[in-house]
Structure 1
């Protein structure tokens, strides 16, 4: 359904507004088997053809190589739990490069969260209009920002620095980044306000509680809706909007100053992406703490400085305005907001095919000689164009998703990462002192913080026909009538249980009892828990490695007296004797 211009303009119209001194936020969760799609697709930077590198994309299935401005609204499904959100969200994919063979393996996108922050401001916050396009970050960077490891998203605090890497760890005795790192020799730079994050890749194994290596991307929230002249073509823009493509018109978007947008500009929610990559699967194949690391972004960046994100708005603006005005659901999820409308069934999945058919390594166990698009792996401190190809790789010229057009402004001497779709900051001076970390900010790597453990953990499980009879501490205890403990199994190359992965049992509510109840209610005869906060369902197990029960010793999030698996270790329960089948050595996790 399309929305008329008067309807949207009415939703965006300014009125007498006193502002707010308190921040509210709600996390948009996703569900299903992997992201919506993965591939060399980017309808903003490379419309109509392949993009320079692979992206992981979430959101509405109206996503295409070349998107009309209102096309997202025509999506028939979305990977967002909230059906009213048919927007698209994407970031570059991540690969592991074997240090001996120099070959590449795709890293599974563990899950993604998108925070919608309504920051303290004197402005009225309004929804994104359908078709609004945002890009942040600079894919050409291989050097650290002049501001160092701190993240800055308000012009009042200095030059903007919108991206970071977060690395929760089970052991934080050693620093995340070397204290003397200059960010140019194999490892990034520490955030002085947070021991768990920084800019550029760390050289440590990120094995925190259900929280592997995480990419953080923050978008600007000020939009010049009054003067943006872009996208007035009547074919592309039949409604006559003047404000739909900020990639073409970079002066249409900027950052707030002390929480407020320039006079006459619209103030949008602040988008904040969290993208978790399942790097612990490769932990045995490299040695941390050596000032080098094996992960590389899909554009050939081994530094992590080129992290970037894209967004195309596809919201029902009335619903999003309701979220802005009335919802402070926080980590519990936007799906908990009042008047949010219909939700998707998390036992289903919304996916589309890779629109650039090629081998991107999406099948577990696939090894690639070169990154898709033949992107050569660059070097720390060396511009992207001067990158050196990996040994044995055949390198062909490819479009560089630079994220900036000729003449685009930069800040801080060109070293600060600058949004390709954002007006240049009015100041390039760094703050006199680093601002204190905000305890209300979403978790940024502090292992003591409470974290959202799953993209799909959002709502209470439905009641089950299986009645719970015990919640005792032992992993081998009975959790429901007719169910028994099968054992602890390694969950590495293929999921032990793949009927439903990352089941929606409830935020911080996973227990063996609830997982069994959830799976039984959906007709499955087997259930398993992992990482203390994940639930899986199935009717049979792959032939996998059985572990000692001590490997499945993480306390359950919903009841610390129970143990719910461990790191890459699944506590399995069954309603009857377990059935085995041949290992799914190449279980398809993503739709190609």
Structure 2
């Protein structure tokens, strides 16, 4: 039995590391919370056992999708992913009965393009959550199989002892624990969804593919999801095991068969959807940098900038403990443990709980604009540290409560005109930058800078990167182009006000925001979607549209903020000093090469029915049309109608520029939307509309 299971595991995980075998991305995560928290299994209550949690800052006893997406930061490297990921804590039971936590600094999460239907992977819907594994298992179950009798479900769990002298095979339990480079626990998740339920307590809303990490989905769970896979490395070699004790998980499991993992969706849907389309079926060797939607928020300082929160529960869970936290009976098997073995009985006193405060995105750290004045000092930009010396070498000090104001005050007290913050807690002063250092010689962005140790809402440089402030005011600010100014294919239309008395933005088409925005980048983005106008705002935001909405008007005032991104010297926008709108002000440019896009009125017997919301976007669940579908970067209305007609289905719909859906009836929740909301050009014909995000142009056969 075990020999067969081990053979299958070896094949599966060899595939994970093979070059050119799979399309996937790999994301590293630090720890955001340690304790008895599990909002999936025990929402609103203290969990039965200790977990190590990674991801969104707002994870707590009863976290919702909205809570997670509103987290001010995430301990995972992709900022657009505020999801929560967790697995049980590993302990070592010493011979004297004491329990010691085994070091673990986070996990690695894989998003793999797997399955026979991998070309149609769907994003996790808002509110989706799931778990994999069975905390009560204490032996290998070779009878419970995946769909079509494909594989034992028990193969979802595996362990890899990483040792410098012995190469151990992967095992379905915690057999080998003398691992000089750590013991890696691994868990695979279900990749098939019933398309209806966001979560069910028995986890029946999801199912494994026929071979767990690949194959087909059962007919009861037809929606293909991306395949999640966790790796958690435990520092077993850092524990003194000479007393002959035993490793065991927080729920009293010394075998490892009960290892499990949980996932609570907190993705920004405008990032996950294109990431799956562009990167889940392309072999990028797992590199986030090779996937544009993900790279836009890929931070190198994620674990520092979103450090572990203090415990929510007043009980010891790390260090040397008298017992496992909770009411845990150690159950070595081979029989499964019972629920009573890991839960507290009536009358048991629970530890007290600390107040829990939710964050919001406005509490995230903000990079100052060049030439902005704060505390009487002017932000001058980012400087590199020269080789062998400091950029500012007159005075310095380090403080674990560092802020930019503290550094500025210190340098002022030393009669120095320049103050620089670096590495989160370091301050340097001088009257000039040293030879070999220059402003612009390093790149300080929100993705590679470190928050100030004493104020998490501002940045204090980064490794070998110094944010420099000057004691004198700037002589000039960013220049503003004149109306009619030309930059390549674009003509400056003016500065538009945002009118928030209506639900529309001034430009209400596609949009994105990050800390590398430039007019050139925004223009290319909107042009690719065939919008007539693009606009930049607040230095970090990009908007597209074909007309100004919401009562917005053009003027020549208020657009004077520097763009957050940097332009090359040969950019056609460089002559205008790269200004990107202002507060509620939009720098608007018109594409002189624009060709109008229109709704195709009919194709053969199929007549346009207008723009419709997806069922899941307007009170229902799943897709508006649930018949056949396909996607193509060269999508047109004609190709979609031809496809659906060939399937003998009377309804055809195009969505998100590249998707086609067919059916015989619109599902509950699929209601009419304003035509202007279906504003994305077809990938194969920029003069045709092909729906929008969660919105479809629907055609019906007469």
TM-score with structure 1 length normalisation? Answer: 0.51
For 1:153 and 1:87, locate their aligned partners in 2 and report how far apart those are by CA, in whole Å: 27
Choose which of 319, 322, 330 in structure 2 pairs with 1:369. Answer: 322
- Determine the structure 1 residue equivalent to 2:15: none
- Determine the structure 1 residue equivalent to 2:334: 381
2:109–2:228 contact (8 Å) kept in structure 1: yes
User: Does the C-alpha gap of structure 1 residues 220 and 164 become closer, same or farther in structure 2, counting only changes over 3 Å?
Assistant: same
Q: Using the TM superposition, give the Cα deviation of residue 262 of structure 1 relative to its aligned residue in structure 2, in angstroms.
A: 3.7
Residue deviations 1:165-187, cap 9 Å, x none?
A: 11111111xx74xxxxxxxxxxx
Q: Using the TM superposition, give the Cα deviation of residue 122 of structure 1 relative to its aligned residue in structure 2, in angstroms.
A: 3.4
Q: Using the TM superposition, give the Cα deviation of residue 382 of structure 1 relative to its aligned residue in structure 2, in angstroms.
A: 4.0
Bigger relative CO (Cα 8 Å, ≥ 6 apart): 1
Residue deviations 1:227-274, cap 9 Å, x none?
A: x3xxxxxxxxxxxxxx21133561443424662324572100000000
- Determine the structure 1 residue equivalent to 2:133: 137
User: Does the C-alpha gap of structure 1 residues 332 and 252 become closer, same or farther in structure 2, counting only changes over 3 Å?
Assistant: closer
- Determine the structure 2 residue equivalent to 1:119: 114
For 1:167 and 1:384, locate their aligned partners in 2 and report how far apart those are by CA, in whole Å: 25
Residue deviations 1:127-155, cap 9 Å, x none?
A: 1112211111110111223279xxx9875
Per the alignment, in what secondary structure is the counterpart of residue 130 of structure 1? Answer: coil
1:164–1:200 contact (8 Å) kept in structure 2: yes
2:33–2:308 contact (8 Å) kept in structure 1: yes
- Determine the structure 1 residue equivalent to 2:156: 162
User: Does the C-alpha gap of structure 1 residues 79 and 329 become closer, same or farther in structure 2, counting only changes over 3 Å?
Assistant: farther
User: Does the C-alpha gap of structure 1 residues 155 and 521 become closer, same or farther in structure 2, counting only changes over 3 Å?
Assistant: farther
- Determine the structure 2 residue equivalent to 1:30: 29
- Determine the structure 1 residue equivalent to 2:185: 215
Per the alignment, in what secondary structure is the counterpart of residue 165 of structure 2? Answer: coil
1:52–1:398 contact (8 Å) kept in structure 2: no
1:377–1:387 contact (8 Å) kept in structure 2: no
User: Does the C-alpha gap of structure 1 residues 396 and 311 become closer, same or farther in structure 2, counting only changes over 3 Å?
Assistant: closer
User: Does the C-alpha gap of structure 1 residues 23 and 121 become closer, same or farther in structure 2, counting only changes over 3 Å?
Assistant: farther
Per the alignment, in what secondary structure is the counterpart of residue 165 of structure 1? Answer: strand
For 2:346 and 2:238, locate their aligned partners in 1 and report how far apart those are by CA, in whole Å: 30
Choose which of 262, 266, 282 in structure 1 pairs with 2:223. Answer: 266
For 1:23 and 1:388, locate their aligned partners in 2 and report how far apart those are by CA, in whole Å: 40
Q: How does 1:111-260 map to 2 (within 5 A)?
A: 111-123=106-118, 124-146=120-142, 157-160=150-153, 161-172=155-166, 176=168, 195=169, 197-208=170-181, 212-225=182-195, 228=196, 243-248=197-202, 250-256=204-210, 259-260=215-216
For 1:396 and 1:310, locate their aligned partners in 2 and report how far apart those are by CA, in whole Å: 22
Q: Using the TM superposition, give the Cα deviation of residue 348 of structure 1 relative to its aligned residue in structure 2, in angstroms.
A: 1.8
For 1:351 and 1:318, locate their aligned partners in 2 and report how far apart those are by CA, in whole Å: 27
Q: Which has the larger radius of gyration?
A: 2
1:343 maps onto 2:298 in alignment: yes
For 1:70 and 1:39, locate their aligned partners in 2 and report how far apart those are by CA, in whole Å: 22
- Determine the structure 2 residue equivalent to 1:563: none
1:320 maps onto 2:272 in alignment: yes
Aligned residues: 340
1:54 maps onto 2:8 in alignment: no
For 2:341 and 2:229, locate their aligned partners in 1 and report how far apart those are by CA, in whole Å: 33
Residue deviations 1:96-143, cap 9 Å, x none?
A: 1112x1201111213310000001523511111122111111101112
TM-score with structure 2 length normalisation? Answer: 0.44
User: Does the C-alpha gap of structure 1 residues 298 and 499 become closer, same or farther in structure 2, counting only changes over 3 Å?
Assistant: farther
For 2:175 and 2:337, locate their aligned partners in 1 and report how far apart those are by CA, in whole Å: 20
Q: Using the TM superposition, give the Cα deviation of residue 522 of structure 1 relative to its aligned residue in structure 2, in angstroms.
A: 6.2
Residue deviations 1:418-463, cap 9 Å, x none?
A: xxxxxxxxxxxxxxxxxxxxxxxxxxxxxxxxxxxxxxxxxxxxx9
1:132–1:246 contact (8 Å) kept in structure 2: no
2:57–2:74 contact (8 Å) kept in structure 1: yes
Residue deviations 1:367-391, cap 9 Å, x none?
A: 11100003122224243249999xx
Q: Using the TM superposition, give the Cα deviation of residue 310 of structure 1 relative to its aligned residue in structure 2, in angstroms.
A: 0.6
For 2:150 and 2:76, locate their aligned partners in 1 and report how far apart those are by CA, in whole Å: 33
1:58–1:79 contact (8 Å) kept in structure 2: yes
Per the alignment, in what secondary structure is the counterpart of residue 200 of structure 1? Answer: coil
Per the alignment, in what secondary structure is the counterpart of residue 199 of structure 1? Answer: coil
Choose which of 92, 97, 103 in structure 2 pairs with 1:96. Answer: 92
User: Does the C-alpha gap of structure 1 residues 51 and 396 become closer, same or farther in structure 2, counting only changes over 3 Å?
Assistant: closer
User: Does the C-alpha gap of structure 1 residues 396 and 147 become closer, same or farther in structure 2, counting only changes over 3 Å?
Assistant: closer
- Determine the structure 2 residue equivalent to 1:71: 67
2:80–2:267 contact (8 Å) kept in structure 1: yes
1:329–1:336 contact (8 Å) kept in structure 2: no
2:191–2:206 contact (8 Å) kept in structure 1: no
- Determine the structure 2 residue equivalent to 1:355: 312
User: Does the C-alpha gap of structure 1 residues 245 and 251 become closer, same or farther in structure 2, counting only changes over 3 Å?
Assistant: closer
Per the alignment, in what secondary structure is the counterpart of residue 42 of structure 1? Answer: coil
1:103–1:370 contact (8 Å) kept in structure 2: yes
For 2:257 and 2:229, locate their aligned partners in 1 and report how far apart those are by CA, in whole Å: 17
Per the alignment, in what secondary structure is the counterpart of residue 134 of structure 1? Answer: strand
1:143–1:305 contact (8 Å) kept in structure 2: yes
- What is the CA RMSD across the aligned residues, in angstroms? 3.7
Per the alignment, in what secondary structure is the counterpart of residue 285 of structure 1? Answer: coil
**Larger strand percent:** 2
For 1:87 and 1:359, locate their aligned partners in 2 and report how far apart those are by CA, in whole Å: 26
**Larger helix percent:** 2
Per the alignment, in what secondary structure is the counterpart of residue 215 of structure 1? Answer: strand
Structure 1 unpaired stretches of 5+: 1-20, 177-194, 229-242, 390-394, 400-462, 469-479, 483-497, 501-516, 524-592
